[in-house]
Amino acid sequence: MGIDLKGEVTQKREQNVNEYINKVLSLIEKDSITEEDAKWITEETVEGFREHVNPGFLSYRKTVTKDGQFAAVEWSDNGSCFKDVNGKEYIDCLGGFGIYNVGHRNPKVVKAVTDQLKRQALHSQDLLDPLRAMLAKILGEITPGDLKYAFFTNSGTESVEAALKLAKMYSERTTFISTTRAFHGKSLGSLSGTAKGMFRKPFLPLIPGFRHVPFGDIDMMRKTFETCSQVGEDVAAVILEPIQGEGGIILPPENYLKQVRELCDKFGALLIFDEVQTGMGRTGKMFAADLYDVVPDILCLAKAFGGGVMPAGAIVAKEDVFKSWFSNPFMHTTTFGGNPLACAAAIATISVLLEEKLPERAEEVGEYFLKELKDAAKGHEDKVLEIRGQGLMIGIEFHQDEIGYEVSKGMFDRGILVAGTLINSKTIRIEPALTIRYEEVDTVVRSFKEVLSQVKA
């Protein structure tokens, strides 16, 4: 009888994997970790990224940190901050690219999710699930104008995909207008609306029918509408970020969004607002659409929609637009979108935003933050080109990429996380929790001033 060496190897490998899994689960279970634990976690994380995730992330971290800090491994979070495995605390001014509007692990959001988890985590996909209906009703009440029907997703790019498909079904038109510096996601449909060539070129040709015009240029927008009409390629929809996030925190010119709304009405096109970053109180209003007094036909949400606890997104549309899906609700579906845990998180998030008046607080703290940053930059006009923002969505633009990198490194060294934008690396963003304390704002400003004085132009 032969020896099954392959079977023995497989059995040994499974045993090793299971031992590794149990060690990881024991660490997850711990309330606190030892120095030995921290060392092991750091080594395993770096090795795991190098061999099994993507070594490019390690290279990126080396460019934006100094003195070996690329291996900083986050472990816990609370309020406006997070801690690494060694216990160092960081004020989070990146905020997961705008996820943590109600703070890290907001108690009310965590409670809603854990309470729901005790009863049911995911739904059967066939019966009627109550929280999806209740959350959709809430969104119909708090979103601008006559937006009414909601479809739930897991991320921003999925929300944009849903919006694009809904717009196509509404009119059967296939032309879309997006803008330069736009970022709408990286799946093929949303990437077609995204502007940065570096992300687009490897995947060309993308979805046909997309035109890009300069953001803020209403004359070019009008000419594009007119040209599309003349050649029989009528516009299905314009998709815009009311304030461009990844593009470098770019605010629209006065009345620009209202003029785009008027053009859409004139040519029978829909207006899609991508509020994945600007939504949920970030700009000083619950939605940036309210800030500019413009009602879109479709509103896209994600990031902060899940309260920094669950991945969650949504589109909310007018009834006349959404009814394209009434006859066949299976035209666009997602297994996990609108699941009970995500809906519980979103409902609790909206409650926190309303009860604690966080949009209003974002406007108030944002004005203070912006003023203090501008004061700190005085005398450094050779380094800082402009500091701009709305609410707690602030961008600091430098004359050169290198200055931005050095400022980011210096602030990280001082326990403050900021980062550049995906479209414009010369601009670093300030997108903290809307709950950030004034003392924390002062710490960020003080550190910014110190670092700026040390960086060479």
Residue 154 to residues 59, 133, 193, 333, Cα–Cα distance (Å):
28, 17, 19, 11
Using 50, 70 and 90 to split pLDDT, how confident is the model at 71?
A: confident
**Percentage of the chain with pLDDT > 90?**
88
Q: Give the residue-averaged pLDDT of 17-22.
A: 95
The ranges of the chain annotated as CATH 3.40.640.10 are 107-356
Structure tokens at 369: 């933050």
The average pLDDT across 440-446 equals 98
Is 68 a residue whose pLDDT tops 90? no
* Res. 423: pLDDT tops 60: no
The pLDDT score that the predictor gives to residue 171 is 95
| pLDDT score recorded for residue 6 | 67
pLDDT digits (tens, 9 = 90+) for 282-297: 999 999 999 999 999 9
Arithmetic mean of pLDDT, 92-99: 93
Question: For the residues 18-42, what does the mean pLDDT come to?
Answer: 95
CA dist list (Å): 176 to 15, 144, 188, 436: 54, 23, 14, 38
So what's the pLDDT on residue 217? Answer: 98
Alpha carbon distances (Å) from 191 to 22, 207, 210, 423: 40, 9, 10, 13
When pLDDT is averaged across residues 264-273 and rounded to a whole number, the result is 98
User: At 95, which amino acid appears?
Assistant: G
Hunting for tokens 């203090």 — which residue is that?
Answer: 372
pLDDT at 59: 87
From residue 163, give the alpha-carbon distance in Å to each of 138, 189, 274, 301, 434: 20, 10, 9, 11, 27
Share of the chain above pLDDT 70, in %: 97
pLDDT of residue 195: 95
Residue 29 has pLDDT above 70, yes or no: yes
Residue 402 is predicted with a pLDDT of: 87
pLDDT attached to residue 3: 58
pLDDT band at 424 (very low <50, low <70, confident <90, very high): low
Tell whether the model's pLDDT for residue 63 goes beyond 80. Answer: no
Higher pLDDT, 69 or 190: 190
- How many other β-carbons are positioned within 10 Å of the β-carbon of residue 97? 18
DSSP state of 302: -
pLDDT of residue 5: 60
Category of 48 on φ-ψ map: left (φ > 0), alpha (ψ -120 to 50) or beta = alpha
pLDDT greater at residue 400 or residue 224: 224
Chain mean pLDDT for the chain:
95
For 296-317, what is the mean pLDDT? 98
Strand 175-179 with 384-390, pairing: unpaired
Class of the domain covering 107-356 = alpha beta
Q: What is the mean pLDDT of residues 356-365?
A: 98
For residues 171 and 236, the answer to whether their CB atoms sit within 8 Å is yes
pLDDT band at residue 115, thresholds of 50, 70 and 90? very high
Least confident span in 145-154, 242-251, 419-428, 438-447: 419-428
Report which residue type is found at 218.
I
- Assigned fold of 52-105+357-456: Aspartate Aminotransferase, domain 1 (3.90.1150)
- pLDDT at 240 > cutoff 60: yes
Q: What is the DSSP letter of 144?
A: S
What's the pLDDT at 11?
87
Name the pairing type of β-strands 210-213 and 175-179. parallel
In the chain, residues under CATH classification 3.90.1150.10 are 52-105+357-456
pLDDT at position 83 is 94
